[in-house]
Structures are given as C-alpha cells and as structure tokens.
Amino acid sequence: MGTVPGGDGLLNHDLDPQDRGPQDACGVFGVWAPREEVAKLAYFGLYALQHRGQESAGIAVVKGSQTMVFKDMGLVSQVFNESTLESLGGAHLAIGHCRYSTTGASVWQNAQPTFRSTATGGLSLGHNGNLTNTLELQSWLAERDTDDSLVPGSLLHEATTDTALITALMATFPGSSTEEAAMQVLPRLRGAFCLVFMDDHTLYAARDPQGIRPLVLGRLESGWVVASETAALDIVGASFVREVAPGELISIDENGLRTRSFATPDPKGCLFEYVYLARPDTLINGSRLHSVRVEVGRTLAGEHPAEADLVIPVPESGTPAAIGYAEASGIPYGQGLVKNSYVGRTFIQPSQTIRQLGIRLKLNPLRDVIAGKRLVVVDDSIVRGNTQRALVRMLREAGAAEVHVRISSPPVKWPCFYGIDFASRAELIATGLTDEEICRSIGADSLGYVSLDGLVAATNRGKDQLCRACFDGVYPVELPLAERLGKSILEDGARQEGRTDVDGLETAVAGVGAADALSRP
C-alpha cells in the first residue's frame, strides 16, 4: 500500500495551465448487504464518484469480526484490481472513499477510510466536506486522550486530517456503542460533513445540519447503500429512497434501518454542486442536474444575448448550459472543441516542448467548424481566468471571427471553507476586476455571467436554502480567524485563540499572508 511513484500523480501546472479550480470535494460510499459482494459494489460506487476526488481511493470491509482496509494514492482503477477486490471478498459490510484533499496534505497517511481500534472492535470512517472548528475539536480530543495517543498528527506516521480527528474522537467513549459515541461527537462538529462509517456490525451515515454536501440513501434487494450522489446508486443497481436529512444519523444492521436526529436541520445545500461538482445525471432535491444546467443556459441567453453563428460548449462542463443557450437564443449548437478524455493525471515529467502545449493537451479546436464563425463559448465558471484566456487565444488562432464567452455561474469572488478547493481570494480574478476588465483580460469580444437570482431560480430551491458563499460571501456556518483555518492546520499545529465576529470573518475571508491560510479550505 505504498505511494504511487511520481508523487501525487496530478497533472502539474506546466502541462495544465488552467484554473485548476474549483477542485472537487470527496466521494463517499457505504453498503450493508450480507448476500452481495460488497467490496465490488464499493469499487463500482467509487468509480461513479471518481469526479469528486482523484488523489487517493480506499475501501474498508468487515469480515466476521475483522476489519480490512485497502487504500492508496491514485484513481480508483489504479488502486484496485481484481485480485485486490477478491482479497476483500466474503464481507457483508463496506465503506469506500475517493479523496481530494481539503484538510491535510495529499499523502498516503491521509487517504481514507480511516481506522481506529475501539473497546468494542474497530471503527472505519470516510468523510466528504471540511470542518471549520478543527482546532477546537483537537483541544477536546487532547482533554479526552491525555497521553496524546489518538491526536492526529501527534506521530509522524499519523494522518493529519479532520477525518482522522473525528475518528479519534469517536474512539474516546469506551463505555458507549458506536452509535452513542457518534451522538456525542456529531453535535460538536461545525462546517460541512457527510460521513459514512462502520463498526463490526453496523453501517452508519451522517450529514451536517446544513446539508451542504449531498448524501443519499438507496435500497438493494438484500441491503442498503449510502452515497454522495444518486449516480453511484444507479451504477450498483440500487433504487433511490431519499436524501439523508441534514442533522440525521442513520444506522443500518441486521435489525434494519434506524434514524436519529443529532441537530436541528437548517438546510443550506451547496449551490456550486448544481453548477459543476455533481454529475449531470445526479438528482439533488428532486432535480436532475442536467435539466437544471440546461435551464441555466436558457436564463443566460436571456440575460446576455449575443449576435453569433454558433454556440459551442467547453466540454464537458459547459455542455448542458450551451444546449440551453442555443435553444433559447435560436443560434445553432455545435461541437467546436474536442476533449482528450484521458488527460487529467500523468506520471511523466514534461519537456520544454510539452510545456508549451498547455491547454491543447486537453482541448483541440475543430477548425472546419469554427473558422470564420462568430462563436458563443459556454463554460461553467471562471476562477483565475487562465483557462479562458488560453482558450480564447486558441479559438482565434483556429480562425474564429468573434469569441463571446458566457458563464453559467456568477463571478466566483470568495473562497470555500466547506470542502471545495478554490483559489485564495487574492487569486480570484473576479475579486478585483469588473466584468468588462475580465473580458479584456481573457481577450474575449464580450463576457456574460448568469445572475445569482437566475442560477438560484433554476434549482427550484429557495435562496435561503442554499449556500452561495463563493458568489456572495454569505457563509452559513460561522468561521474562525484565518489562522485557525487552512488545509495544513493540523500539520501546522496552530494553537492560537481566535474570535468569531464581523472583523474576524473579514480577516478569515480576505486576509492572505505568508502562510496563505485561505489558499486551500
């Protein structure tokens, strides 16, 4: 289970001079099914959730009273093979995780699921989201575990993630069942968290009171499934039952399904899930995201019309909105860019010649389609602007007469602290520039973003039921000072006392210094 040669294997900036953001959250999957091959179901479930995290993958299974965990750096298909899955066979209970790091470095020790021995057996846990009170929880753990044997990061080989912290906290209630320990820990967590965890007999799922990240429940003929998205239910043949409610803890074992509430629900689902993060074939709050994104494109056409000959998407993220834009505007829809689906990770170091290829490794223009045409180019978001700048240049070189850029989300002006890896606020192009200045910066003939109200309307959810923080700076979960946030907070071992007021929030959101605490939530 060592690390894959070549570091984290991510396509580096020299080969991919794009925004590299927003990077996804994580994917979680859990299955209780005594008559099924649960390890293989977890594998296929993670495969369906691969878009949510490409750094590492792992599966934990329970066989009798023994827990086995296999995890490594890389894609799901790189980590697991037939022989590995066979070694995990014979289990009735499994959880899986694919990771994009938002707390803790991208190293093997931080791959998930995490595991802790407890007085009643073993505890494995996977987490999608990001906690905002990590240091407060670490202090609580230190109080409960006086010899520091459970404190994440206390040993060099230890994990340094908020996930490891949650797992360690649950292990400090030796006289309690896993369910009762969870009911002690879950109310103390702040931020975004969708958890799947298990002991020797029971599968558990829990979702934060705001329900920021998605988590759904599905039914198999002989068991139950929980997953980050409904698409993962589809691939394993599970029928969608419902979403896990905000503030709910679900327990599943041989006695059936039980549910408890650990907090008062205050729904604030992530609006960016609708724009980009989740798969287009996923359902959120009863809406198929492909249909939502097509409707956003229609709205975008009404808000920012253009005189053009062809509407083309930036594949695949801009495709549904481009379809909607073409339908509403009457401008023909076309495929002007071809995407290389196999570019995204590499273990090959680039030469100087390859560095100059940049975005062309991922996208190539169809010159016969776009030459001499006035184009509307639809994409899902602009973060730093590097992608759009390179894309506009490439389209002009291919003969486009005009390039009108349309974006199916409002300007991203604020970082995320709830599980999406945006740039720091200082790096976000929309922070310091007007739309007209951004248009000139990327070299487009015109630029239009869909309005926040237009995007919200397409989701069929009330504005007060959505987290819109990356667009309007309104954070639904209270934030501490900047020095108490950040991807490497547990590695840094920060212990400074913070305050949470208006001035403190502004410091947390806008302040960037040598530590760049906001660069990764």
Same domain, 256 and 298: no
Is residue 200 a known part of a binding site?
Answer: no
Residue 473 in domain: no
Residue 381 in domain: yes
Residue 431 in domain: yes
Residue 347 in domain: yes
How many structural domains does the chain have? 2
Confidence of residue 174 (pLDDT cuts 50, 70, 90): confident
User: b/e per residue, 148-167, with b = 16+ CB within 10 A?
Assistant: eebbbbbeeebbbbbbbbbb
Q: What is the reported pLDDT for 245?
A: 98
Q: At what angle do helices 289-303 and 452-459 cross, to 10 degrees?
A: 150
Estimate to the nearest angstrom the gap between the alpha carbon of 245 and the chain centroid: 19
Is residue 194 a known part of a binding site?
Answer: no
Sequence-separated (6 or more) residues with CB below 8 Å from residue 341: none
In whole angstroms, give the CA distance from residue 123 to residue 171: 8
pTM over 0.75: yes
Same domain, 204 and 250: yes
Residue 316 in domain: yes
Find out whether the peptide bond into 246 is cis, omega within 30 degrees of 0. no
Same domain, 98 and 229: yes
Here the tokens at position 36 are 């099924």
**Which CATH number do you get for residue 157?**
3.60.20.10
**Residue 216: which domain range?**
27-267
Same domain, 59 and 208: yes
Same domain, 131 and 225: yes
Q: What are 63-110's pLDDT values in tens digits? A: 888 899 999 988 899 999 999 999 999 999 999 999 775 544 555 567
Same domain, 263 and 342: no
**Which CATH number do you get for residue 337?**
3.40.50.2020
Is residue 470 a known part of a binding site?
Answer: yes
Residue 128 in domain: yes
- Give yes or no for a contact between 268 and 291, defined as CB atoms under 8 angstroms apart: no
Same domain, 326 and 222: no
Max mean pLDDT among 119-128, 428-437, 443-452 falls in: 443-452
Q: Which residues lie across from 375 on neighbouring strands? A: 310, 403
Pick from 465, 482, 505: which residue ends a domain? 465
Same domain, 305 and 256: no
Find out whether the peptide bond into 427 is cis, omega within 30 degrees of 0. no
Share above pLDDT 70 across residues of the chain, in percent, rounded to a whole number: 79
Same domain, 114 and 208: yes
Number of neighbouring beta carbons within 10 Å of residue 460? 12
In whole angstroms, give the CA distance from residue 207 to residue 226: 11
Q: Per DSSP, which regions of 175-288 are E strands?
A: 191-198, 203-207, 216-220, 223-227, 239-243, 248-253, 256-261, 269-270, 283-284, 287-288
Pick from 449, 465, 481: which residue ends a domain? 465
In whole angstroms, give the CA distance from residue 487 to residue 307: 44
Residue 495 in domain: no
Residue 505 in domain: no
Q: What is the reported pLDDT for 150?
A: 56
Same domain, 352 and 303: yes
Same domain, 112 and 150: yes
DSSP-derived letter for residue 77 is H
Estimate to the nearest angstrom the gap between the alpha carbon of 353 and the chain centroid: 33
Average pLDDT over residues 434-461: 97
Same domain, 236 and 303: no
Residues with a catalytic annotation lie at: 26
